[in-house]
């Protein structure tokens, strides 16, 4: 086992936080992964590092899951099942699928991170979530060292949630994800307002998969910071889902508050709106800040520590609670 001591994790987390791993290993093959997990060391599993905030050094063996490969597993005239190993870069995988003419994940273009972490928080953007096309995923049981298959239903997906974040937290390591994609009659989803606006700006009426992907890329680039230029983990908070009653109460005081109906009794409120109204958009506190174009995204201007970002997130949470009576919860894993 090629274990490195005292490895900086700065290049392994999109927030660009300079925390250290006491021990670190990058794993390129299933057999090596099984060997490491079987070693009974205290482990910290690291995928693309795009949804975590490091607030301290990690006194464990950090295992960077770097399994590569994509393959077509099954196909007929209409559908294809594609398998991607956990360490594949998500956006490169999306572009590869589009190049092959496979539809279903084009709205998820340009999301940072690796394939293996996408099911954990059921990534979603512009009207599409991973649960809409995920066929199954393969995961290593950390106790039995067996690879098990989870069907879509067994993943128990919900808004930014899955079984891997809840009941099975830290019990499995996702090694590969299989997607069922369309080969023709693609159900392109452009209903998310910004996509339609972007496509009509370009005079496109019957968008191809590539057109939708390009529109999403343009929207993301205009709103969301590129982690290579400005450290961040995408949305830092989840959009809160509150009762209709709580919403009516808040709306009476804040009539412009936008919302999306989730069920008969609950609505989702954009946390970005709450944060902007509370005056945090574009604000900087040392090297930690709130992004100027999307208030849901916290950023690291260079040398912010994880604790500084957490302190800012707590200040935001307290202010929103006091001002709107709404609790907002972090989406990012705070380590």
To the nearest whole angstrom, how small is the minimum distance from the Cβ of residue 61 to ligand EPU? 28
**Helix, coil or strand: residue 101:** coil
Helix (H) or strand (E) holding 172: strand 172-182
Question: How big is the chain, counted in residues?
Answer: 335
Residue number, 176 or 274, with CB nearest to ligand EPU: 274
Cα 210 versus chain centre, distance: 22
Handedness of CA 116, 119, 121, 127 (dihedral sign): positive
Tell me the two tokens of residue 21.
């791993």
To the nearest whole angstrom, how small is the minimum distance from the Cβ of residue 145 to ligand EPU? 32
Nearest residue to 214 via CA among 100, 102, 110 = 110
* 47 near ligand EPU, judged by CB under 6 A: no
Stretch that binds ligand EPU, among 11-19, 36-44, 96-104, 271-279 (CB under 6 A): 271-279
Residue number, 118 or 152, with CB nearest to ligand EPU: 118
**Helix, coil or strand: residue 106:** helix
Please, are residues 177 and 84 in contact by the beta-carbon 8 Å criterion?
Answer: yes
160 included as an active-site residue: yes
* 270 near ligand EPU, judged by CB under 6 A: yes
Tell me the two tokens of residue 151.
């069907």
* 227 near ligand EPU, judged by CB under 6 A: no
DSSP 77: S
What is the size of the binding site for ligand EPU (CB under 6 A)?
A: 18
* 133 near ligand EPU, judged by CB under 6 A: no
Residue number, 125 or 178, with CB nearest to ligand EPU: 125
CA separation for the pair 139, 148 (Å, rounded) = 5
Per-position DSSP letters for 20-65, written without gaps between them: EEEEEEEE-SHHHHHHHHHTT--EEEESS--SEE--S-EEEEEEEE
DSSP 205: S
To the nearest whole angstrom, how small is the minimum distance from the Cβ of residue 157 to ligand EPU? 14
* 324 near ligand EPU, judged by CB under 6 A: no
Taking CB under 6 A as the criterion, the residue among 117, 162, 235, 313 binding ligand EPU is 235
Taking CB under 6 A as the criterion, the residue among 294, 300, 313, 317 binding ligand EPU is 294
Residue number, 234 or 289, with CB nearest to ligand EPU: 234
Residue number, 22 or 283, with CB nearest to ligand EPU: 283
Please, are residues 331 and 121 in contact by the beta-carbon 8 Å criterion?
Answer: yes
Strand ranges of the sheet holding 260-261, from the earlier edge strand across to the other edge: 241-243, 266-268, 260-261
284 included as an active-site residue: no
* 296 near ligand EPU, judged by CB under 6 A: yes
* 239 near ligand EPU, judged by CB under 6 A: yes
Among 160, 198, 233, 308, the active-site one is 160
Stretch that binds ligand EPU, among 15-23, 129-137, 149-157, 265-273 (CB under 6 A): 265-273
CA separation for the pair 142, 335 (Å, rounded) = 20
170 included as an active-site residue: no
Residue number, 106 or 138, with CB nearest to ligand EPU: 106
Which residues in this chain contact ligand EPU in the complex, by CB under 6 A? 125-126, 223-224, 234-235, 238-239, 258, 270, 272-273, 276, 281, 294-296, 331
- Catalytic residues, by residue number, are 160, 235, 331
């Amino acid at each position: 086992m090629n274990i490195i001591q005292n490895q900086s994790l700065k290049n392994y987390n999109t927030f660009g936080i300079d925390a250290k791993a006491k021990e670190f290993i990058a794993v390129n093959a299933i057999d090596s992964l099984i060997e490491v997990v079987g070693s009974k060391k205290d482990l910290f599993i690291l995928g693309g590092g795009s949804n975590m905030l490091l607030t301290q050094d990690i006194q464990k063996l950090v295992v960077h899951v770097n399994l590569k490969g994509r393959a077509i597993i099954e196909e007929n005239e209409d559908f294809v099942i594609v398998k991607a190993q956990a360490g594949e870069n998500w956006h490169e995988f999306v572009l590869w699928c589009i190049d092959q003419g496979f539809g279903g994940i084009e709205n998820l273009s340009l999301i940072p991170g690796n394939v293996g972490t996408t099911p954990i928080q059921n990534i979603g953007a512009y009207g599409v979530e991973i649960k809409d096309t995920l066929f199954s995923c393969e995961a290593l049981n950390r106790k039995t060292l067996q690879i098990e298959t989870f069907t879509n239903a067994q993943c128990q997906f919900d808004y930014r949630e899955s079984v891997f974040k809840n009941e099975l937290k830290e019990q499995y390591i996702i090694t590969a994800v299989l997607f069922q994609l369309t080969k023709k009659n693609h159900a392109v989803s452009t209903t998310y307002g910004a996509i339609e606006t972007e496509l009509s700006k370009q005079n496109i009426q019957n968008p191809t998969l590539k057109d939708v992907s390009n529109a999403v890329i343009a929207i993301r680039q205009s709103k969301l910071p590129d982690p290579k230029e400005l450290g961040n983990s995408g949305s830092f908070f989840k959009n809160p889902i509150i009762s209709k009653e709580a919403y009516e109460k808040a709306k009476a005081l804040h009539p412009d508050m936008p919302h999306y109906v989730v069920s008969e009794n609950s609505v989702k409120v954009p946390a970005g709106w709450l944060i902007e109204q509370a005056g945090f958009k574009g604000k900087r506190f040392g090297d930690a800040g709130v992004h100027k174009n999307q208030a849901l995204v916290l950023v690291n201007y260079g040398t912010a520590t994880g604790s500084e970002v957490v302190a800012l997130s707590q200040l935001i949470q307290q202010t929103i609670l006091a001002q709107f009576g709404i609790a907002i919860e972090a989406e990012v894993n705070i380590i």
